[in-house]
Amino acid sequence: MIEAPGSVPSAAEAALAADASPMGEAARWAVGLLRGSGVPSQEALTARFVPTFPGRNAQGFSQTLAKWRTQGPFTLEAYEPVAHKGWIVLSGPGGERHTLSLTIDSTGLIRILTLRPETVIPEVRGWDDLENALRAPGVDHSVLAARLTPRGTVVLHESGADRPMPTGSAYKLYTMRALVHAIRKGELSWDDEVTVRPELRSLPTGDMQELPDGTRVSVRETAYKMIAMSDNTAADLLADRLGRDAVERSLADSGHHDPSLMRPFLTSHEVFELGWATPELRTAWVERDEAGRRELLREIARPLSVSVSDLGDTVHHLGLDWRMTGYDVLRVLKGLLQDSERDTTGTVEHIMTAYPGALIDGARWPRVYFKAGSCPGVMMFCWLLQDRAGIPHVLVLRQTADRQELIGDGLFLRGLGARVIASGLLDGETADGARAGAAADAEAVR
């Protein structure tokens, strides 16, 4: 960053300058672009962006960059790096605020770079604040907040938590449990490998879809990418190695209230192909019973015929998603916590804690599991957070709508989750130090 002589960098500027991680390097480069005047060369863009980045062409990117710069000069207001994702709040000359969002891949290349008006997250001091923030025309939502005590589950707050709703990539939690079970039984090891094949290649999120055919990747690395980066191809490779039956058994093992809602258990590849390839495939899926649907999946066991640009209309109402209640999410997270405690290698813990989803106070919550899920018209975030006393807490937030624009890109729901976690509502201490647990402690233990 370039500062005026004698000036003192703001806290945000200092935090960005001090971040030596790949995210910090990418974020400094991106902010420098916005504050600069020249146009980056094709070589510079090639060195910074993944090959599939839509605007990596110098001519196309220069037009986008010129449009972004008209909103400056920019002042850095906040910098929030969380593993492979980062959010930078910038203010323009008139006080208008923007969020520069970045996602990098496992090599540090930029996969997503957007500049949009800042998503304003309201304060959350009580559960009514959260519910009021989530109420929006055309959007269905659900909340579950609970404390997992030795006596049982203490529900702190719920709204619609027992209602099955589509949850997007939260299905990967069941794949993870099936994998851990197979490893515990000696059927697989973390050092075994999966092989990238055309018929298993999916769409982003993630970067494993860009690996050449025949690439072999360890089960350990593949599982890490499935959870930490929500890599769809990683999940599909593991599901193929385990077998659909094994993943379906993990539904019952994990306490899903009605496993038939997710049978046959779909891969991301299958959802993309069924949902957006042809109307005939969607019709066939809706009209067939479980046996017919399994046959349909065998018929589409081929390379994808759709791309990211084909994803538009919502399809979750056709059953093309993974339906869970808030309590189903809680139970599978609890199961993974138990899996971690049985895993003497520490691999499960490493994977589940790799990406916390938001900046979270590690002194208050030394252990954090996180998973997000999205699909057109679907957004969900869930956390399992263990406090210093070793008591786990679970927060599940879900949204669905008939149109994606009613939900947005997830920054709002993610921000609300971060507000709840920081507020003290989960652990009984509000942000100002007042007790918030009296009513919660009176809730029924389930």
The tens digit of pLDDT for each residue in 22-34 reads 999 999 999 999 9
If you classify domain 11-117 with CATH, what class do you get?
alpha beta
Mean pLDDT of the region 399-403: 97
pLDDT interval class at 8 (50, 70, 90): low
More confident residue, 185 or 51: 185
Mean pLDDT of the region 131-141: 98
More confident residue, 61 or 377: 377
From 3.40.605.10, 3.40.50.800, 1.10.287.130, 1.10.8.620, which CATH number describes the 193-321 domain?
A: 1.10.8.620
* pLDDT reported for residue 42: 87
pLDDT above 90 covers a percentage of the chain that reads: 87
Please choose, from the candidates 427, 426, 422, 317, the residue with its C-alpha nearest in 3D space to the C-alpha of residue 375.
317
pLDDT interval class at 365 (50, 70, 90): very high
> Domain map of the chain by residue range?
11-117, 120-167+323-446, 193-321
pLDDT over 50 at 125, yes or no: yes
- In sequence order, the 6+-apart residues with CB closer than 8 A to the CB of 207 are 50, 105, 106, 111, 225, 229, 231
Lowest mean pLDDT among 234-248, 257-271, 424-438: 424-438
* pLDDT reported for residue 59: 72
Specify the CATH architecture of the domain 120-167+323-446: 3-Layer(aba) Sandwich (3.40)
Cα–Cα distances in angstroms (integers) from residue 174 to residues 171, 184, 250, 259, 331, in the given order = 6, 15, 6, 11, 11
* pLDDT reported for residue 345: 96
Pinpoint the alpha helices (H) of 243-355.
244-253, 268-276, 279-287, 290-299, 326-342, 347-352
pLDDT interval class at 40 (50, 70, 90): confident
Mean pLDDT of the region 73-88: 95
**323: which 2 tokens?**
């339906």
pLDDT interval class at 420 (50, 70, 90): very high
Tens digit of pLDDT for each residue in 289-345? 999 999 999 999 999 999 999 998 999 999 999 999 999 999 999 999 999 999 999
Mean pLDDT of the region 100-129: 95
pTM: 0.92
Give the burial class of 38: count Cβ atoms within 10 A of its Cβ; 0-12 exposed, 13-18 middle, 19 or more buried: exposed
Q: Hey, which residues does 81 pair with through a beta bridge?
A: 86
CA distance 348 to 384: 14
